[in-house]
Amino acid sequence: MGFAIKKPADATGSAMPAIVIGLFVAFGGVLFGYDTGTISGILAMKYWRSLFSTGYVNPTDHFADVTSSQSSMIVSLLSAGTFFGALGAAPIADKFGRRLGMIIESFVFVFGSETAPKWIRGTIVGAYQLAITFGLLLAAIVNNATKDRMDTGCYRIPVAVQFAWAIILVTGMIMLPETPRFLIKQDRHEEALKSLARLRRMDINDATVVAELSEIQANHEFEMRLGNASYIEIFKGSIGKRLATGCAVQALQQLTGVNFIFYYGTTFFQNSGIQNSFVITLITNIINVVSTFPGLYMVEKWGRRPLLLFGAIGMCVSQLIVAIVGTAASSAVANNVLIAFVCVYIFFFACSWGPVAWVVTGELFPLKARAKCLSITTATNWLLNWAIAYATPYMVNSGPGNANLQSKVFFIWGGFCFICAIFVYTCIYETKGLSLEQVDELYAKVPVAWKSVGFVPSVHYTDVRDVAGDIKAGTLTQLESEANEKRSGEHATHHESIATKMEV
């Protein structure tokens, strides 16, 4: 197979415009990653702690500290805001379009999925997670540079740098094209054709461009015959099943404990008696960035199911080792083992659940429901993000009213990683190499996830559309059968006509 992700022989046109657009859209992840990493470092800065504390003195470094309730509130407020922002993204994206919607709300995954060629879509969408890791790394670098300042610059400088990423993102999004699928949904066929031709870098009259757009149009018309996707409808039937899968993927991604490391890692290392906690955080962020690259490669080579299963098992083992070592020993050697297996855990997360959770949710939903469903799955991620950010200080820290779990908290994260492995096997369908329209066929024909591997699509929505008529109760399989019968009948009629002419 080779190492490179190769363009299939049947894929026409250039993928470069869609790749560039997808990667630039994913740049929005830098903002999230940078903000997350900034908070982690600021919480551990001595001047900031002294300035905002209520008098509690940390016995480790003898500097004033904030309480669990204060750190919980500070960190979790970000996720509380993004939860409501994610829910609002769907009506904005459907009303104003993916491009303008992104400018308003950074609606990343709908846009990235809808413009990308199917053979590299997973890598492009997963690049959002890569952008998050870069944001975390940039924050760790800036925090490490300002941590020793004994003035407000220690935290004001890291916060101010974030404005640069927002300016870059908004400036670039102004130049992005709208997605062909959204334009089809708005009955703007000519604009959709121009957008697709631009994305594939081909002439608008090219037969392959026209055929691809016809398939998108046919799929959309087929979906519309079955009804519009209201908020009630997306919780029913196949879409409801996919929505539950998407929400569970996003929830479990958070429950692996990754944001415990990136929100509270610096403070945790500091309280564990580890010297140079800022440097350790910087190292973990470097590993996070580097480890994401093999994930972007393997998501298209291995597929979604194998990579998620690989990551879940690796994370589970790493977390349990950290929990056991951290609980059973408290020496310099134990601290080194703790750091080492935290880094191993980050590798498994960064190459699997980090990017692939977004890939899976970006591929699950039909066009008529995509914006609504993605807003709910993303909101689920933020809801769990908020819950973990809020609860962690009470779970980990010592003091009155706190559970004082310290390293024992990794038993919890490890347990959820074990659940992740079971969930992948039973619930995650393999969508590698399928177009977004073919994913609909996959869910219509394959009843259970573990039978999805090796699925070969056979439906052409242009044929189904021709026989569907006003049928609303027929399944996709029934309509496909009717289309095949019609095609066979036409083929037989054609041969009879030729035979008649020959007899004459």
Supply the range of the domain harboring residue 88: 16-441
Tokens of 489: 């009948």
- 284 domain residue, yes or no: yes
Find tokens 């903000």 and name the residue.
35
pLDDT (0 to 100) of residue 126: 67
From 396, 415, 441, give the residue that closes a domain: 441
Rounded Cα distance between 68 and 20, Å, is 43
Rounded Cα distance between 36 and 5, Å, is 31
- What radius of gyration, in Å, describes the C-alpha atoms of the chain? 25
CB 461 within 8 A of CB 219: yes
**Type of residue at 52:** F
Tokens of 28: 């929005």
Beta strands in 46-90 (DSSP E): 56-57, 64-65
pLDDT (0 to 100) of residue 286: 94
Count up the domains in the chain and report the number.
2
428 and 465 together in one domain = no
Rounded Cα distance between 249 and 360, Å, is 8
- 448 domain residue, yes or no: no
401 and 472 together in one domain = no
- 344 domain residue, yes or no: yes
122 and 223 together in one domain = yes
From 388, 412, 441, give the residue that closes a domain: 441
- Phi first, then psi, for residue 188 (nearest 5°) are -110, 70
Rounded Cα distance between 193 and 323, Å, is 55
- 5 domain residue, yes or no: no
In the chain, which residues have pLDDT < 50?
1-4, 103-112, 114-115, 470-473, 495, 498
Rounded Cα distance between 222 and 289, Å, is 42
CB 207 within 8 A of CB 229: no
Rounded Cα distance between 256 and 349, Å, is 8
- 112 domain residue, yes or no: yes
DSSP readout, 41-91? HHTT-HHHHHHH--SEE-TTT--EE--HHHHHHHHHHHHHHHHHHHHHHHH
174 and 297 together in one domain = yes
482 and 402 together in one domain = no
256 and 311 together in one domain = yes
- 11 domain residue, yes or no: no
| CATH of residue 436 | 1.20.1250.20
CB 113 within 8 A of CB 123: no
- 408 domain residue, yes or no: yes
- 175 domain residue, yes or no: yes
Rounded Cα distance between 378 and 384, Å, is 10
CA nearest to 216, candidates 199, 236, 240, 233 = 199
44 and 151 together in one domain = yes
Rounded Cα distance between 473 and 457, Å, is 22
248 and 288 together in one domain = yes
CB 410 within 8 A of CB 320: yes
433 and 499 together in one domain = no
119 and 265 together in one domain = yes
214 and 265 together in one domain = yes
From 387, 407, 441, give the residue that closes a domain: 441
pTM for the predicted model, two decimal places: 0.74
Rounded Cα distance between 409 and 405, Å, is 6
393 and 490 together in one domain = no
